[in-house]
Amino acid sequence: MRRRIVVGGFLVLAATQIDAAIAQTYQQPYTPPPPPCSAVTPSPLRGAARGAAVGAVGGAIGGNAGKGAAIGAGVGGVASALRRGNARASGACS
Protein backbone atom coordinates (compact mmCIF):
# COMPACT_ATOMS: atom_id res chain seq x y z
CA MET A 1 0.00 0.00 0.00
CA ARG A 2 2.78 2.42 0.88
CA ARG A 3 4.58 1.61 -2.31
CA ARG A 4 1.49 2.56 -4.36
CA ILE A 5 1.16 5.87 -2.53
CA VAL A 6 4.85 6.70 -3.00
CA VAL A 7 4.85 5.71 -6.67
CA GLY A 8 1.58 7.57 -7.28
CA GLY A 9 2.92 10.69 -5.59
CA PHE A 10 6.09 10.47 -7.66
CA LEU A 11 4.08 10.17 -10.87
CA VAL A 12 1.94 13.17 -9.97
CA LEU A 13 5.04 15.22 -9.13
CA ALA A 14 6.76 14.20 -12.36
CA ALA A 15 3.66 15.04 -14.42
CA THR A 16 3.39 18.52 -12.91
CA GLN A 17 7.08 19.20 -13.52
CA ILE A 18 6.82 18.09 -17.16
CA ASP A 19 3.68 20.17 -17.61
CA ALA A 20 5.41 23.24 -16.15
CA ALA A 21 8.42 22.74 -18.44
CA ILE A 22 6.20 22.49 -21.52
CA ALA A 23 4.25 25.60 -20.51
CA GLN A 24 7.49 27.53 -20.00
CA THR A 25 8.81 26.41 -23.39
CA TYR A 26 5.76 27.63 -25.30
CA GLN A 27 5.18 30.82 -23.31
CA GLN A 28 5.00 33.94 -25.47
CA PRO A 29 7.28 36.84 -24.54
CA TYR A 30 5.59 39.89 -23.04
CA THR A 31 5.24 42.81 -25.40
CA PRO A 32 4.16 46.03 -23.73
CA PRO A 33 1.32 48.01 -25.28
CA PRO A 34 2.30 50.98 -27.45
CA PRO A 35 2.46 54.38 -25.77
CA PRO A 36 -0.36 56.87 -26.25
CA CYS A 37 -0.06 59.11 -29.31
CA SER A 38 0.33 62.19 -27.14
CA ALA A 39 3.67 60.80 -25.95
CA VAL A 40 4.92 60.04 -29.47
CA THR A 41 3.69 62.96 -31.57
CA PRO A 42 2.65 66.52 -30.73
CA SER A 43 -1.02 67.45 -30.88
CA PRO A 44 -2.39 69.22 -33.96
CA LEU A 45 -2.87 72.35 -31.83
CA ARG A 46 0.81 72.39 -30.95
CA GLY A 47 1.65 71.94 -34.62
CA ALA A 48 -0.66 74.82 -35.51
CA ALA A 49 0.96 77.05 -32.89
CA ARG A 50 4.42 76.20 -34.17
CA GLY A 51 3.31 76.81 -37.75
CA ALA A 52 1.75 80.14 -36.78
CA ALA A 53 4.98 81.27 -35.14
CA VAL A 54 7.08 80.34 -38.14
CA GLY A 55 4.50 81.81 -40.51
CA ALA A 56 4.43 85.08 -38.57
CA VAL A 57 8.20 85.40 -38.88
CA GLY A 58 8.07 84.61 -42.58
CA GLY A 59 5.11 86.94 -43.06
CA ALA A 60 6.88 89.74 -41.22
CA ILE A 61 9.79 89.42 -43.60
CA GLY A 62 7.37 89.47 -46.52
CA GLY A 63 5.33 92.37 -45.16
CA ASN A 64 2.17 90.77 -43.71
CA ALA A 65 2.73 88.88 -40.43
CA GLY A 66 -0.98 88.16 -39.85
CA LYS A 67 -1.45 86.46 -43.18
CA GLY A 68 1.74 84.44 -42.67
CA ALA A 69 0.60 83.35 -39.23
CA ALA A 70 -2.79 82.24 -40.55
CA ILE A 71 -1.26 80.23 -43.38
CA GLY A 72 1.37 78.75 -41.05
CA ALA A 73 -1.25 77.70 -38.51
CA GLY A 74 -3.25 75.87 -41.15
CA VAL A 75 -0.26 74.11 -42.64
CA GLY A 76 1.24 73.27 -39.23
CA GLY A 77 -2.01 71.84 -37.88
CA VAL A 78 -2.60 69.66 -40.93
CA ALA A 79 1.01 68.45 -40.96
CA SER A 80 0.86 67.53 -37.27
CA ALA A 81 -2.44 65.70 -37.74
CA LEU A 82 -0.99 63.75 -40.67
CA ARG A 83 2.09 62.87 -38.64
CA ARG A 84 -0.08 61.57 -35.79
CA GLY A 85 -2.30 59.61 -38.18
CA ASN A 86 0.70 57.93 -39.78
CA ALA A 87 2.13 57.03 -36.35
CA ARG A 88 -1.21 55.56 -35.30
CA ALA A 89 -1.55 53.59 -38.56
CA SER A 90 1.95 52.13 -38.31
CA GLY A 91 1.36 50.97 -34.73
CA ALA A 92 3.84 53.33 -33.09
CA CYS A 93 1.14 54.58 -30.71
CA SER A 94 -2.42 53.83 -29.71
- pLDDT tens for the chain, residues 1 to 94: 777 776 666 666 556 666 666 666 666 778 888 888 888 888 889 999 999 999 999 999 989 999 999 999 999 999 999 999 999 999 888 7
pTM of the model: 0.61
Q: Which domain holds residue 75?
A: 2-90
Q: Does residue 70 contact residue 56 with C-beta atoms inside 8 Å?
A: no
- Which residues in 38-56 are b (16+ Cβ under 10 Å) and which e? eeebbebeebbbbbbebbb
pLDDT of residue 32: 86
pLDDT of residue 13: 58
pLDDT of residue 34: 86
What whole-number distance in Å separates Cα of residue 72 and Cα of residue 76? 6
- Residue type present at position 18: I
pLDDT of residue 10: 61
pLDDT of residue 73: 95
Number of domains in the chain: 1
Q: Does residue 18 contact residue 74 with C-beta atoms inside 8 Å?
A: no
